[in-house]
Amino acid sequence: MNSVIHCQGLSKHFANKEALHQVSFEINAGETTGLVGPNGAGKTTLLRILCGYLRSATGSVTVLGEKPGSRALMGKLSALPQDSQFDPVFSIGKQLSHYAQLQGFSRRQSANEAMRVLELMQLQDSVNTKPDALSHGMRKRAAIAQALIGNPQLVLLDEPTAGLDPVNARNIRQQISAISDQTTFLISSHNLQELEHLCQTILLLEKGHLIQQAADRNNNSEKYITLRMAHVNEAELISIIQDMPGINSITQHQKNEFVIRYDHSRIPSLDQKLLKLLAERNWQYRHLINGQTLEEQLFST
């Protein structure tokens, strides 16, 4: 597969603070990747370096085979930068149309392209509206629309759904999903459920260090099932499942939520057996997830 982002030994300091320390990773074309980590972990710094907004102190970075900020990346790389605002004197449509013209669209094409990306974000009615007249969520969606102008090959999104209502957040996830076969996304977010739905690979940053690069989850014969129950006698459930053949362990990290680790080669249809068990006992369940939740994968000890 083609590598769209390649980072090797990337470090960045701000005064005495180390924002990134020897970060190395690679993202392949078509591989939607999530970037997670606590506040101040270095996620935004990493995205700013990839966009060419910041220079890295040491290490090498290539984006689509080019140096970040290179002219060759115009139109191929796009982004939703954090805390960036549109020019308040021009309408959203005019500004998006201007960005499209800068990418080489003719005047007429640029107006059509602006309308296309606004429609993707369900903002077509706001084409003539100035940014100050839009709500926070609408401005965020307009900024995402900006990132989709000209169908770029790689889009970096810094907290795309933060501050959005659930309906619009869902719409953005759907749009990302719909175009992720043509465009590679790198998404920084605190919403693990969102990343779980969208991403094949997860990068976990902590205090500037890349702690984990999780991909192809559950690749071994040892697999996981996460079971979330409505009401249950927890001790009885644990005891029954623990006694089933092929079960390596069952752990409970939250009330009514159990993570079952099992040997897939010995018990390939554990999910069916569990459903049968729940039906027999008349136990109500909420979710049966094939695998661990992303939260469990990243943060369980």
Among 50, 54, 176, 187, binds other proteins (CB under 8 A): 54
Indicate the residue among 63 and 195 with the shorter CB distance to other proteins.
63
Asked whether position 65 contacts other proteins by CB under 8 A, the answer is no
Sheet (strand 33-36) strand order:
77-80, 154-158, 184-188, 33-36, 201-206, 209-215
Among 4, 99, 127, 260, binds other proteins (CB under 8 A): 99
Indicate the residue among 72 and 279 with the shorter CB distance to other proteins.
72
CB 77 within 8 A of CB 156: yes
Largest CA distance in the chain: 70
Asked whether position 75 contacts other proteins by CB under 8 A, the answer is yes
CA distance 170 to 176: 10
Q: Name the one residue in this structure whose structure tokens are 């409505």.
A: 230
Asked whether position 146 contacts other proteins by CB under 8 A, the answer is yes
Give min distance, CB of 157 to other proteins, in A. 12
260-299 binders of other proteins (CB under 8 A): none
Asked whether position 30 contacts other proteins by CB under 8 A, the answer is no
Among 2, 13, 17, 55, binds other proteins (CB under 8 A): 55
Asked whether position 98 contacts other proteins by CB under 8 A, the answer is yes
Cα dist. 106→110, 116, 150 in Å? Answer: 6, 15, 12
3-state secondary structure of 42: coil
Among 7, 27, 92, 100, binds other proteins (CB under 8 A): 100
Asked whether position 162 contacts other proteins by CB under 8 A, the answer is no
| Amino acid identity at 194 | E
Cα dist. 21→10, 45, 54, 91 in Å? Answer: 6, 11, 15, 41
CA distance 59 to 23: 8
Residue 134: half-sphere exposure toward Cβ, Cα within 13 Å: 26
- Binding region for other proteins (CB under 8 A) out of 3-11, 22-30, 83-91, 225-233: 83-91
Asked whether position 87 contacts other proteins by CB under 8 A, the answer is yes
Give the binding site for other proteins (CB under 8 A): 48, 51-55, 69, 71, 74-75, 77-79, 81, 83-90, 94-95, 98-106, 109, 112-113, 116, 143, 146-147, 149-151
